[in-house]
Amino acid sequence: MRATVMFGAGDVRIENVPDARLVEPTDAVVRVSRAAICGSDLWPYATLERSETSRRMGHEAIGVVEAVGADVRTMNVGDLVVMPFAFSDGTCIFCHEGLQTSCVHGGFFGTPDVDGAQAEAVRVPQADGTLFVLPVGEDDALMPSLLTLTDVMGTGHHAAVTAEVGPGKTVAVVGDGAVGLCGVIAARRLGAERIIILGRHPDRIALAREFGATDVVSKRGEEAMERVRELTDGFGVHSVLECVGLEQSTLTAIAIARPGGAVGRVGVPQDETMPASLPAFYNNVTVGGGPAPVRAYIEELLSDVLEGRIEPGRVFDRVVGIEGVPDGYRAMNDREAIKVMVQP
Ligand SMILES: [Zn+2]
């Protein structure tokens, strides 16, 4: 089968690889009908050192179950399923607490242990706990929005939940990538009164406004912080969704939270240490977040997608076939595309 392999920074190729197959009795094999390229795939695309071992990429997919292991109980061959970016057993203490990304038998797709999903098919460990069977068919026009439930919509929602967004609150979203845009949707969905997006790409800002952003701050650094304070009577916002992961964006996120506010971090941190420890401390700002347990959120978000109340699939502004994946990486890296959907 054909699959996406990264050999080093800037070097993504489509290769022939052995077909995905069942290994454990708890596995399923899923034929991928839609996959996606993630903003987090761009970090290795920029920095991965060339080595002996190449990396099989991709952690977002919707597909059709092609085979199930002997112990799989909750799905059948032919079911259409959503595959969250992390696999989880659904039964351990953390899964029961809704934190599937810390599952004691869990892990992540597109790692040395489990192959990626930017491919014609993918092996899914812990199929019963991981996959969610969809009540719609494969050609459904809702596919792009359903695909965001594998990562970006669930991640934006997690940022909003950990930032304690609620009715009447003022919210800031740092970052105008696909996760930030989904964070705007999530903040509005949870009842935020005012949503300030910090970003500088005109096409993304326009989409953010359609998703519910009420104010735009296109400055960076100190100027951005100053502008947010101006918009909020000098106090800052109740809730900040940090959707980038860089030192500057994290610093900004903490600086624009008002005393007693909360920051939800979902941008993968690119630094070992966290900035703005002193303002976070003196302002009693709660800093939370981490890898989103998107599996926990699928059911809650699904009905809004199916009934058309939210349209996160609009973040996809380009579709490629499997052979077009390398150019999809380039387009996202050059900020030519917000997010690329793969139709193998
Ligand atoms: Zn678990």
Task: State both tokens at 313.
Answer: 């699939």
Question: What's the gap in Å between 11 CA and the centre of ligand 1?
Answer: 34
Question: What's the gap in Å between 128 CA and the centre of ligand 1?
Answer: 11
CA separation for the pair 80, 58 (Å, rounded)? 18
Question: What's the gap in Å between 63 CA and the centre of ligand 1?
Answer: 22
CA separation for the pair 26, 23 (Å, rounded)? 8
Question: What's the gap in Å between 96 CA and the centre of ligand 1?
Answer: 7
User: How many Cβ atoms from other residues are within 10 Å of residue 194's Cβ?
Assistant: 18
Question: What's the gap in Å between 294 CA and the centre of ligand 1?
Answer: 13
Q: Minimal CA–CA distance to 9: which of 61, 54, 74? A: 54
Question: What's the gap in Å between 184 CA and the centre of ligand 1?
Answer: 29
Q: What angle do CA 85, 286, 217 make, to 5 degrees?
A: 75
Name every residue whose Cβ is closer than 8 Å to that of residue 234 and which is 6 or more positions away in sequence: none
The predicted pLDDT at position 250 comes to: 96
Q: Where are the beta strands (DSSP E) in the chain?
A: 2-8, 11-16, 28-36, 55-56, 61-68, 80-83, 86-87, 107-108, 121-124, 132-133, 170-174, 194-198, 215-217, 237-242, 257-265, 286-289, 316-320, 339-342
The predicted pLDDT at position 240 comes to: 98
Q: Indicate the pTM of the whole model.
A: 0.96
Sheet of 257-265, strands arranged across: 215-217, 194-198, 170-174, 237-242, 257-265, 286-289
pLDDT at residue 51 is higher than 90 = no
> Would you put residue 268 in left (φ > 0), alpha (ψ -120 to 50) or beta?
beta
CA separation for the pair 215, 299 (Å, rounded)? 30
Position 259 confidence tier, pLDDT thresholds 50, 70, 90: very high
Helix (H, G, I), strand (E, B) or coil at 66: strand
Average pLDDT, the chain: 96
Residue 290: what residue type?
G
- What is the average per-residue pLDDT within 314-329? 98
Pick the range with the lowest mean pLDDT from 53-62, 133-142, 330-339. Answer: 133-142
pLDDT at residue 140 is higher than 80 = no
CA separation for the pair 197, 181 (Å, rounded)? 9
Angle in degrees, 0-180, between the axes of helices 152-162 and 294-306, rounded to the nearest 10: 110
Question: What's the gap in Å between 26 CA and the centre of ligand 1?
Answer: 13
Assess contact for 92 and 38: CB atoms under 8 A. Answer: no
Question: What's the gap in Å between 291 CA and the centre of ligand 1?
Answer: 15
- What is the average per-residue pLDDT within 219-231? 95
The predicted pLDDT at position 155 comes to: 98
Pick the range with the lowest mean pLDDT from 36-50, 160-174, 280-294. Answer: 36-50
Name every residue whose Cβ is closer than 8 Å to that of residue 338 and which is 6 or more positions away in sequence: 177, 178, 181, 203, 204, 207, 315, 316, 317, 332
